[in-house]
Structure 1
């Protein structure tokens, strides 16, 4: 029996939704800076921290993570101006360092070291971009994992920063004009001044600005905004020839956008840029890949669920005049396209959740060759229209990283292993990966990867960690994970990744099959994955842990509510758990394009049925649960996890034999930029919790 805190319950806080009255007794937790909320967090950590650190597995796991994670980590090199750059981490550095070299055979030197930004590594590097000539470098920094960023500019020759400093920047790119005088970026209005990521205020009026170097931010030009649509988000880019500004407008997180352009070569940069419309309907995704004068090549899912390439003549922009350059395929999803070597395209496809990379002719779309890659993921790809070489980083569940270099002028096409990333003591041949396809309730075939040591017995006794996401058109790909490796190595564990509907693994139709009123498909797919693993005796219900983050946190908490008997342990990281109020905080309104709007009667009916906060059982067995959140998570704000843990402890705490806990990290956000030290601490806590609740012991 656990003694949980007894936070104050407000009996007079409720809302009426379509004739249904919904109580909200812990709404005061939506004030993150109140003394009462801070006290509640302190009381929760006072329970979870001793439990997590009390298991001897925690110290052993942490020590092994420090040993095994201490391997060199290289990113794919890229060329800007007349120099090469790449990111490199010696092993346990909190942040990866940006290195530079004149040629691939020269010694590299440090160009920018984010570890110097703060002593504890909680200030990280965000978005960045070099000017066209490679002489200037604009980069953004983020503090404590917040989405808020501050943009600075560095002189490449001197290595010194200019005085330029841009704040109130969020969800922004950096797009230099080719004259090197400045760049476009996105920010929020001055009212956002002072925000640090701990606030919950709803964000509105995203706008695109242009910053001239050596000027104050207060003089920046406001080039584009849509005040009549305060929830819209903007992004901008400059074409490879420097002639056009491309503006995309989103109304949420859906893969649909408006597409506009502005002729920089004739109009110059100015306030309130007169945009010309290419597409002004939210019906599909449109992304400009390259251009030859007014002929644009666009990656789109318009009338092509699995994406294709179209060419658009700006002189005749109507869709009836669009031409198909590379047609949609029957099964493969076209994920990425970049123009290289002047007249060629590299296309990355997703085929049954494994990448395929091809070289095509830009003018005709003709397939020229296929890159020889293994079964896994192209984690990074670098190349430019006017460059004749590319680099790419390959990863898989059992491959930490292989960096390849390809000279596109060579015939026949060949890729050379440039760097191999080795993990000390890890022998990949001791492990195996299989992909299975299981059938869900409505007959859909769902792919799932299963990874484990060779030679283990399938007798139902193995601990298993099942991971899922299922949303926002995001594909969850095979990637290397040190913590999962240790789970397999020292717990004799099995890792399973279910590529459930709602993601992008099979295109937009797969995504749409798991959103809005069809969201239950996502949970059913995950339940069926668990049932498959148990039926095939990979594991059993008392040895099964499930894990997910963000939308995946919503997934695992909903599954725990719906089928508590099926799972023994639940790890929910930065989860969206209050589905009736998610749209009222920071950027949450953008997710109504995925979940629906709970303020609308037709949407409320299906959202309320699965909202984790509002469907916690009031009695019976419940799996052990560990929620994780960060005090500077300004994407999925901590109130989701705080209200959920308070409710579940109140309703089940007196009878639950399994621990119901939360871990609230300080100076931590949604996940991006998390320093290595915090990452290792978090993994040690997670696997300590899994070991405790699955009743498994450490094996040397």
Structure 2
């Protein structure tokens, strides 16, 4: 069975009541971006030195900019209050401890607070967890470990050997990087195993075959990483061997994203297949089965598909492309199908069963399996429900769990001992709650709920639609005070992401509520193409040469907000991170006339060099390849770094990144700020020296970043008069 680490955090998803749905008029098309010769080659880029992550000159530049930004934002009289509020929220003790079922039915949790900034891995019984004050037993204290070893350890999860789950590989990151050190830990003795397995820092992973055998994908030296910086080689390592001595099982190609190995196990922890995944690009992959004789056989699956679980001997696969199976059956993009595993491995022409086919406005947002059931989070127009499917000889029967309506739901950890599964339920204005469901009987019981973290009295949520440049209707949510005047005077923060099939599902954010909504701000979330809100096709509509569609979707939402007099240009700000940072850069360079603030978080920005920086090559499947002239041409049309130019109504922006981010290179953010300053624009720039891609190695740093962001937004949007 494929399952997350026993201490993986259950994702708390969310949604809201819909109080109105309306359509906007077609906005004018955004002006076509232009690009001169700036930074179109290494020779014309004066800021390549800022890509030297820890270079002396670059770090002096970072230090100077941090000092200036701190002086401006921390010097604002609102900063300290916002910081204290953020700190209180992120360090609060009354959060729901995210539960993870162990194989024997215990509950694991990873917990951070003011006393445990780096966190505790801890365990309790299910009965104790259901009480108001569970009795936790600490398995591993990361703060104590970091102090004892003098290291800046950030916990990145564990992989435990089933079924006993006594021995685990702990992933420890230096400062929050994606690259981790793996160390064998005994959960009974609660200490690292003397002379146990240790793998040095690298991107990649390891999976148990048995107590003395691992599948490992790591940096094994020159020629063993892909162009994206991820492992290209899978080895089988026996206890006592070094990685160099391990047997090579599979070698991919340098152009691949990565390769990895894992075991497919049943509910009793028995290995049913040993598999190797070759990610050819970000969305296309091959899966190979390792036979007992060491031979590799490629499974006959479509390139765009995911193995999502194994239940009662049925292998579950989600499809992200139309596909004709070897049996002759035709399936559609978005389908969830199943085969009897043993029969299918023996004969790939074995017919599959269609488990679920979402409609055009539906999307599968989560799948998990209990001992005997399949549990699916199914969304319809960005509103969630949970279905339970039972395998059968013909069609799989299903029931729907009796949960609150018009909400977002998250399928959390599931038990392999029985059919219990945790489900999270929440809304923009409704604090998260956690429910325990019995997938066999359909019984549901609320076991935890969050107290309100901000005053939502008098607030409401609307869902509107905006017409994009090509006529597509783009849904978006508006969270606001019900008595909000429709005169363009409302400080409004518009959030977007728009890529990698990542859905922006409504959720309760204590920090947004306390630091923004409660103070009179309006919060807007755009469900643009490029995301997964309506399944794989919604994502594919904005891939590669069609990327500009997602930018136009975001612009359409901004135009619609202004047309409805919810806000106006002086009161409208935008926020997004990573791919969302690229989103913000495109808005800044294409429609700066619509906004007065932009929080650009750990961004992609130089899209002509993204594939050469850290993990960037892995995203060619999303954006295209700048080394191919035809693709470079359409990437250059929107790449923010090349399209920054003088004489534009750019607002003062706030850009932040992390030195330790080994996924999106901090050079993107640094070069964006440097270029803006060269052109004469004011810029606020902050770089956290730790933190990784999440830009926060610990809770105190997270609170500081939040306070900086909302101080900046207050200055730009709350201090500025509305447009007449």
1:203 aligned to 2:203? no
Name which of 321, 329, 347 aligns with 1:302.
321
Supply the distance in 2 between the matched residues of 1:208 and 1:551 (Cα, whole angstroms).
29
> Which structure would you say has the larger RCO, counting Cα contacts within 8 Å and 6 or more residues apart?
2
Partner of 1:236: 262
SS in 2 for 1:587: helix
SS in 1 for 2:102: strand
The 1:36–1:423 alpha-carbon spacing in structure 2 relative to 1, beyond 3 Å, is: same
Partner of 1:7: none
Shift of 1:219: 3.8
The 1:28–1:243 alpha-carbon spacing in structure 2 relative to 1, beyond 3 Å, is: same
1:287 aligned to 2:315? no
1:569 aligned to 2:597? yes
Partner of 2:64: 43
Shift of 1:553: 0.2
The 1:239–1:262 alpha-carbon spacing in structure 2 relative to 1, beyond 3 Å, is: farther
Name which of 202, 207, 211 aligns with 1:175.
207
1:188 aligned to 2:219? yes
Contact 1:553-1:576 at 8 Å conserved across structures: yes
SS in 2 for 1:314: helix
Partner of 1:31: 52
Partner of 2:389: 360
Deviation per CA, 1:90-137: give whole Å up to 9, x if none: 567424432212452372211222233435995221132222112222
Supply the distance in 1 between the matched residues of 2:389 and 2:516 (Cα, whole angstroms).
40
Supply the distance in 2 between the matched residues of 1:328 and 1:311 (Cα, whole angstroms).
19
Task: Report how many residues are paired.
Answer: 656
Deviation per CA, 1:670-693: give whole Å up to 9, x if none: 107631101000000111111112
Partner of 1:484: 512
Unaligned ranges ≥5, structure 2: 1-36, 129-133, 323-331
Partner of 2:327: none
Contact 2:232-2:254 at 8 Å conserved across structures: no
Supply the distance in 1 between the matched residues of 2:40 and 2:62 (Cα, whole angstroms).
26
Name which of 652, 660, 664 aligns with 1:624.
652
Name which of 116, 121, 129 aligns with 2:159.
129
SS in 2 for 1:48: helix
Shift of 1:530: 0.7
Shift of 1:392: 2.3
CA RMSD of aligned residues (A): 2.8
Contact 1:29-1:642 at 8 Å conserved across structures: yes
Contact 2:382-2:505 at 8 Å conserved across structures: yes
SS in 2 for 1:125: strand
The 1:695–1:401 alpha-carbon spacing in structure 2 relative to 1, beyond 3 Å, is: closer
Range with bigger deviation, 110-119 or 635-644:
110-119
Supply the distance in 2 between the matched residues of 1:236 and 1:637 (Cα, whole angstroms).
29
Q: Using structure 1 for the length normalisation, give the TM-score.
A: 0.87
Name which of 178, 181, 190 aligns with 1:150.
181
1:417 aligned to 2:446? yes
Unaligned ranges ≥5, structure 1: 1-11, 268-272
- Superposition pairs of residues 336-485 of structure 1, within 5 angstroms: 336-342=366-372, 344-363=373-392, 364-379=395-410, 381-410=412-441, 413-423=442-452, 426-485=454-513
SS in 1 for 2:606: coil
Supply the distance in 2 between the matched residues of 1:370 and 1:449 (Cα, whole angstroms).
25
Supply the distance in 1 between the matched residues of 2:50 and 2:113 (Cα, whole angstroms).
41
Supply the distance in 2 between the matched residues of 1:320 and 1:329 (Cα, whole angstroms).
26
Partner of 2:120: 97
- Superposition pairs of residues 537-556 of structure 1, within 5 angstroms: 537-556=565-584
Supply the distance in 2 between the matched residues of 1:605 and 1:427 (Cα, whole angstroms).
49
Shift of 1:176: 2.5
Contact 2:66-2:686 at 8 Å conserved across structures: yes
Supply the distance in 1 between the matched residues of 2:39 and 2:578 (Cα, whole angstroms).
26
The 1:223–1:157 alpha-carbon spacing in structure 2 relative to 1, beyond 3 Å, is: same
The 1:121–1:51 alpha-carbon spacing in structure 2 relative to 1, beyond 3 Å, is: farther
Partner of 1:634: 662
SS in 2 for 1:472: coil
Partner of 1:3: none
Partner of 1:161: 192
